[in-house]
Structure formats: structure tokens, C-alpha cells
Structure 1
Amino acid sequence: MFLIDMFNRKTTMPAPAEILPGRPGEIATAQDHALNARPLKGPFDERLETAIVAMGQFWGAERLFWNLDGVEITAVGYAGGTTPNPTHQEVLTGLTGHAQAVKIVFDPAKLDYRDLLALFFESHDPSQGMRQGSDIGTFFRSAIFTSDDGQLAHARAAADTYGSALSGAGREARITTEIRTIDAFYYAEAHHQQYLFKNPSARSGLKPSGVAFPRSSEI
């Protein structure tokens, strides 16, 4: 019974009374990106846009995006929850509501947001609910956190496209990716930033479904 209760807690979003209080100030993080030495928090040129996605453990997800042509900066952090300025340990309790997420600052003249969405969907399994393989918890859920109505529309269309691709491949599971607009992204601690660049032999955590995103589709 204890194991069942523990599993249910990890895979169920916390009730309002359970939410950890967090803190008013930001937690310490890295100043610069480990690969390109650019300031992790900017300021960024006004031509750049931001995408925020969650696809399980954030180390491998960040590495997926940092070498793409058109990407200015990547950073890992926490998004989609309630607790302000959470720590990694607080997020892993499941009592902040946050997912481990990646922030991608990119140049839309070089990299289309829809191409980022295509890579996102085919690089993990978006039908897993509150988990990615053996990584279990609300903080490992699949999510796209959008910044405006345009991104929201593209994200919903991409989910429909990939859902059809999964069905066409004989997969019965439905897309469980959370898609919504949010205001806050909280940067994770310094040692989590670009972790797989600093520790290349560490586990990436990405578990693709094996189904390619149909990039010829209009999404």
C-alpha cells in the first residue's frame, strides 16, 4: 500500500494546500552558457524568440537543442508549477507543480518555431503521462509552455499532427503533452546548466517513441 501511495503522489499534481511556499528571490544559477560563454539570462536581441519545452529529465533535452543553427542560448529550469523560485530538491518532491524544462532562445529567421516543435515531439514519448520511461513523476511530464497565442496555436497543431503519426504507426496511446501559456520560468542551479557538456558520459534521459514527425505537414 505504501508503494501505491508513493507512486500516486509522484504522478498526481499537488493540491493547493500541499504546494511548497518557495521564496521571493531567485536561486543562484550560472552567469554564462558553458558552450558559448553568452550571458545565460541575456539581455537578448529583440529579434530573438523564446520556446520552453519539457520532455522528461532536462539534461538530455537541453543538449538536443543547444547545437541547432539559430539557437542563441539554452538553459534548464522549472516551469508550469506554482511554487516561486523552487530548488531542484523541492521540484523532485512533486509539491511545486513544476516540470523540468528547457528554455530555448532562438532566431526565427534561422530556425522556425515549428521545426523546434517537430524535434521536440519525435525526441521523446509524448504519450507517457507523468513520466518518461523509468523516470516517474509530474516533474518529468511532457509539456510545451508557450509565450503567446501564435505559439499556442502552432503547439496544438503540432500535437494533432504527431498524434496522427502515432496512430498511423499503430500506437494506441494518445498525446498527453500539456500545452498552455505561462509567465514564469525559473532557472535551475548552476551545476544543472549544460550538464551533459560538462559530464558527457552521464545519462541523457531521452526516450523517443521511435515515430518520426511528418515534417512535410503544415503545422
Structure 2
Amino acid sequence: MNPFEEDKIPAIDKLTYSSPKTATLAMGCFWSPESLFGSIGGVIRTRVGFAGGTTENPTYRTLADHIETVQLDFDPEQILYAQLLENFFAHHTPTKEPRKRQYTSAIFYHSPEQKQAAHEAMKAAEVRLEQKVMTEVLPYQVFYLAEERHQKWKLRRVPAVLNELQKIYPKEEAFNNSTAVARVNGYLGGNGEKERFMEEMGSLGLSYPVQQTLLAHFLAKDLGDLPFKG
């Protein structure tokens, strides 16, 4: 990468992490969960796809027995896996049978420690909700990336912001691996803390006019215009 291209990279994407971890979670339709987790400090990148089934190479139209899933990389020095699970249980309804297999509530654990944390989080959720939690706790096996049109869904609904980020990251893999892209997708969904948003806005690689567009969408949540829908 030449110096000119390096200058285009958002400051937040130049950060490095010593030992990132992965979490794989399913909480209904995957568009809003990706936005939710993308807005959380310590989350490095997000992607949506399919897991939990037996059919190879599923697609959105041919899911078979797979579940819509969000996968994220996070820095455990900034956020704990248990905290991610708190957000998981707080932002969907894990006490009802899903209307379709693809919308199943599930935690795919990557280690014995994640498995233990999942069961502890489930118990805490049952105490809080005073109901049995239907979430499945399953060993992680394989994750199939969803089609590009499903990645960063909230961002794709706002072309002015999308276009600016795609100029920085014209290739799909780099686009989806960007922390800036994950954050913007989160903030456009009305997720995240206002203080963090204001601190990070200048590090997302956006021009001033596009920053204002992002700000307007983020602040709309305070008016109730952008409720979370799992």
C-alpha cells in the first residue's frame, strides 16, 4: 500500500489488537444484530451468515436447516465475552419458539470457556425474565458467509454513506473487515452510546457532509424513529 492509499484508511482501522477472539451468535434476522454489535466498543469487525445446519454452502434463499447468524471479532481487553452475551439476551426474545428454524436463538461456542459463559448467561436471563430461555447452545463448527447484499444491511440503506466507504474499500473483503464500516452500520441502525459515537465520528474516514448524514440518523433514535428489530 502506497502512502496515498494509507492516508485514506480511517484512523479506527489502523488500530491493532494482540489477541482478538471470535463470537458467533444467532438472534433472529441477522441484519439488526450485526448493527447492534457493530456499535459496541471493543468489537473489531462483524459479518452475517449461516450456521448450525448440515447442508453445505447454504444461501439466503436455500437455507435448509441453517440459522441466520452474526459473527464478530472482538478485543477481550476492551469487552468480555460475557458482556457480549448480556447484549445478546437484552436485544431479542429468547423465550419463544422461532416461527422458522432460520430465526432460532443460538450461541455457537468456540471454547469451553465460551460454553460455560453461555450457560451462565442463560441462567441469568431466565432469572431476569422469569421464563425458560429457548436459546440453543451449540459447538461452533462452520460459518458460511451470506451474500454481499446482506452484509452491513443498515449501511446499505443509506447510499451517500455507503458510497463514501466503498471508495475507501472497493473490495468486499476489506469492506467487511473494516471496524469503521461495522461502526457506521451500527450507528446508522440507531445503536450505540452517544458519547462513544461523538468520540469516534472523526476516526471513521467520512467527510464532513457525510458525518452530518450519519449524525442525523444516529440522533433519530432519540425520537423513536429507529427502534431495534430483531
> What is the TM-score when the length of structure 2 is the normalising length?
0.62
**In the TM superposition, what is the alpha-carbon distance from 1:36 to its structure 2 partner?**
9.2
Q: Identify the match of residue 106 of structure 2 among 127, 143, 146.
A: 143
**In the TM superposition, what is the alpha-carbon distance from 1:206 to its structure 2 partner?**
2.5
**1:174 lines up with 2:132 in the alignment:** yes
Secondary structure (helix, strand or coil) at the match of 1:65 reads helix
Q: Identify the match of residue 39 of structure 2 among 67, 79, 82.
A: 67
- Report the equivalent of 1:190: 148
Measured against aligned partners, the alpha-carbon deviations of 1:170-218 in whole angstroms (never above 9, x if no partner) come to xxx41000011122011000010001111159998725xxxxxxxxxxx
Secondary structure (helix, strand or coil) at the match of 2:47 reads strand
Instruction: Please list every run of 5 or more consecutive structure 1 residues that lacks an aligned counterpart in the other structure.
Output: 1-34, 39-43, 131-135, 168-172, 208-219
Q: Which is helix-richer, 1 or 2?
A: 2
| Matched AA of 2:105 | S
8 Å contact 2:50–2:144 — kept in the other structure?
yes
Secondary structure (helix, strand or coil) at the match of 2:61 reads helix
Distance 1:187 1:46 in 2: 25
8 Å contact 1:61–1:204 — kept in the other structure?
no
- Report the equivalent of 2:68: 100
8 Å contact 1:141–1:177 — kept in the other structure?
yes
In structure 2, relative to structure 1, the CA distance for the partners of 1:37 and 1:111 (3 Å cut) is: closer
Distance 1:109 1:37 in 2: 16
Distance 1:87 1:115 in 2: 30
8 Å contact 1:99–1:139 — kept in the other structure?
yes
Measured against aligned partners, the alpha-carbon deviations of 1:35-65 in whole angstroms (never above 9, x if no partner) come to 9997xxxxx9661000011000000010001
- Report the equivalent of 2:217: none
Measured against aligned partners, the alpha-carbon deviations of 1:91-127 in whole angstroms (never above 9, x if no partner) come to 1xxx2x1110000100000011000000000100001
Runs of at least 4 residues off by over 3 Å: 35-38, 200-205
Q: Identify the match of residue 78 of structure 2 among 84, 105, 110.
A: 110
8 Å contact 1:59–1:204 — kept in the other structure?
no
Q: Identify the match of residue 156 of structure 1 among 119, 123, 127.
A: 119
Measured against aligned partners, the alpha-carbon deviations of 1:69-104 in whole angstroms (never above 9, x if no partner) come to 11111000001111111111001xxx2x11100001
Secondary structure (helix, strand or coil) at the match of 1:88 reads coil
8 Å contact 2:66–2:102 — kept in the other structure?
yes
Distance 1:46 1:129 in 2: 39
Identity of aligned residues (%): 33
Q: Identify the match of residue 229 of structure 2 among 206, 211, 215.
A: 206
Distance 1:117 1:36 in 2: 28
- Report the equivalent of 1:127: 95
**In the TM superposition, what is the alpha-carbon distance from 1:129 to its structure 2 partner?**
1.6
Distance 1:37 1:190 in 2: 23
**How large is the Cα RMSD of the aligned pairs?**
2.4
Aligned residues: 154
